[in-house]
Amino acid sequence: MNPNRCLVLRRSSPATRLLLVAGLHCTLAAMNPRNCGFIARAAAEESPAAAAVAAHLTLGQRETTAPIDRKFTVEGGYTAEVLGVVSGGVQRGAVYRGLMDGAIQCDLAAIAGAPVDSVFRVSALFPHGGTLSNARIGDLQGASNIEAYNHPLLYELWFGGRLGSDRLAWRAGRLVADGDFATTESGGVFLNSSFGWPAFISANTLNTGPAFYRSALGVFGRLALAERLHARAGVYDGDTFDDAGGDPSRHPDGFNFRLSRGQGAFAVVEVVLEREADSTSRLPLGTLKLGAWHHTAEFSDQLDPTRSHRGNHGWYAVVEQALWREPGEDPGGSQGLTVFARTGFTPRDRNFIRQAWDAGLSYTGLVPGRDADTLGLGVAAVRISEDYRRAERAAGHETLSDYELVVEISYRLVGRENWSLMPDLQWIRHPGGSPALPDALLVGLRTRVTF
C-alpha cells in the first residue's frame, strides 16, 4: 500500500457529495438482512469482482445479498475497527476507522432480454476515520486494509457477461484488479494490506494500480483452457488518480473517466491450475497461479533520479493448498488447515521494493462448536532494492534501508451469518523498510455487519 494514500482529502462539491451519500443510503435501506439467495451468475469467478469489496475487508465470507424479483441484487455493509500502537513505530495510540460499502447489480437478461448472463454493476464506498500508517507506524505495507481517503466515492461501474458456453467471461468499465489477480483465499483472515493486493505490484506501479479503493477504466477476461486450467488477463488505465504524485485532491469522488498517454497502461496476465476436490483425497483443494504484469509509463532510476526507464514489469507465483480436512468434512468444505504462499519480483534499477512475499496458515473450525470461525497466522516481508541501498550509501546515509517484516495473528469469530468480530495482533519489524524506527506492536479489533 502506498503510504501517501493516508493524506487528508479535499472536499468535493456539496452537490456531488450529497448525491453519493444519498445513493448509498437508499441502497442500504433497501436491503433485507434475512435474504441471501440470489447472486447474478455473470462474471462470477472464484474470486469475482462482484465480491471485491469483501476481499479487501478480509472477511473470508460471502457478502449477504438481497434479491429483488430476480432482476436486481443489492449488497453492502459496514466495517468498523480500532487499531492501536502499543509500542514502537512513530507514536503510540489508537485510531478508529470505518468503511461503508454498497452495490447494485442488474441482470440485463431479465430486464431487457439481453444475452444470457449479461449484468451491470455499480458500487460505492464511504471510508472515514483516523490515519494509522503514516501518523503512528510509518510502515510500508499498510497495517489496515480499509485505510483510505475520508470521502465517499464511486467504486465499480461495469458491464459483464459470458460467451461460448461459459468458456469466456468478461467485464468492461470501471474495474479493480485486486479481486482477480494474485489472490489467496486464506489471506482473507488478516487485516494487514500485505495479504491482499501484494506490495510487489502496489508499491511499483503508479498510485498502487487498479485496486482498493480506486478503480480504473479497463477490460478483464477469463478463458477456460481445460477442465482445471484457465487464464486471466486485464488491461487498465495506468493511473487511477490522474496524478503521478498521488495527489488525493484530484477527482476524490471517483467520477473521472479520462485517459491520457502520459499515464500509461497497466496490464496483467495470470494462468491458474486448480486441484479439484474428490472423496478419495485428504488433500482436497489446491491452487497454483503464475502471473506477470507490465506498466507502460516512465519510471525513475533508483541510482540516478535524473534518468528514467520506459516501462516497468514484474512476475509472481501463488500456491494455496488444503493440508488437512476434519473427519467427516466434505472434501470441498472449509473446515481444516490450509497453507498459502506468494512471492513476486521486479527489476532493481527502477523499483524501491525488489521482492515481496507472504505466507501463512489458516484453520477453520478449530474450536469445537465454532465451525465457521477461522484462526490465521501470517508472515509478510518486502525487500528494498539493492540499487536504492547503493544510492543511500553514496549519499552518506548512516542507516541503510533493508526490509520490512510483518507477523500477524488474527481470529475471525462469526456470530450470525451477517456479522463477524476479529481480534488482531501485529508485529512490524523495521517499519518503513529501515531500522531507523523501532519495531511496532499493534493490537486491534474489527467488526463487520452486512445488510
Beta bridge partners of 421: 413, 447
Residues paired with residue 340 on neighbouring β-strands, in sequence order? 320, 360
State mean pLDDT over 377-395.
96
pLDDT band of 257, cuts 50, 70, 90: confident
- Which one is predicted more confidently, 135 or 12? 135
**Gap between the Cα atoms of 404 and 402, Å rounded:** 7
CA separation for the pair 216, 173 (Å, rounded): 8
Over 50: is that where the pLDDT of 66 sits? no
* Closest residue by Cα to residue 8 from 343, 247, 227: 247
Structure confidence at residue 249 as a pLDDT band (50, 70, 90): confident
Residue 285 has what DSSP assignment? -
For residue 44, what is the DSSP state?
-
- What are the residue ranges of helices labelled H in 174-303? 199-202
Query: Closest Cα to residue 376, out of 425, 343, 323?
Result: 425
Domain ranges of the chain: 3-450
Give the pLDDT mean for 131-155: 96
Q: Which of 388, 322, 418 is nearest to 140 (CA)?
A: 388
DSSP string, 405-448: EEEEEEEEEE-STTEEEEEEEEEEESGGGSTTSPPEEEEEEEEE
Provide the 3-class DSSP secondary structure of residue 53: helix
Residue 407 burial (CB < 10 Å; 0-12/13-18/19+)? middle
10 Å Cβ neighbour count for 279?
8
End-to-end CA distance of the chain: 28
- In this structure, what is the dihedral angle of CA atoms 332, 54, 424, 344, given to the nearest 10 degrees? 80
Q: Give the pLDDT mean for 225-242.
A: 93
Q: What is the pLDDT of residue 283?
A: 53
Q: What's the whole-number mean pLDDT along residues 247-261?
A: 81
Amino acid at 283: L
Whether the CB-CB separation of 128 and 97 falls below 8 Å is answered with: yes
Say if CB 149 and CB 248 are below 8 A apart: yes
Q: What is the mean pLDDT of the chain?
A: 84
Kindly list the distances between the CA atom of residue 108 and the CA atoms of 73, 182, 220, 274, in Å, as whole numbers in the listed order. Answer: 12, 30, 19, 31
Q: Which fold has domain 3-450?
A: Porin (2.40.160)
- How far apart are alpha carbons 135 and 132 in whole angstroms? 5
Question: CA 274, CA 264: separation in Å to the nearest integer?
Answer: 33
Which cell goes with 262? 502520459
The fraction of the chain above a pLDDT of 90, given in percent, is 67
Nine-digit cell at 325?
480436512
pLDDT band at 280 (very low <50, low <70, confident <90, very high): low
Name the one residue in this structure whose C-alpha cell is 483443494: 285
For 3-48, the pLDDT digits (tens) are 343 333 333 343 334 333 334 333 333 333 333 322 233 333 433 3
Give the model's confidence band at 91: pLDDT under 50 very low, under 70 low, under 90 confident, else very high: very high
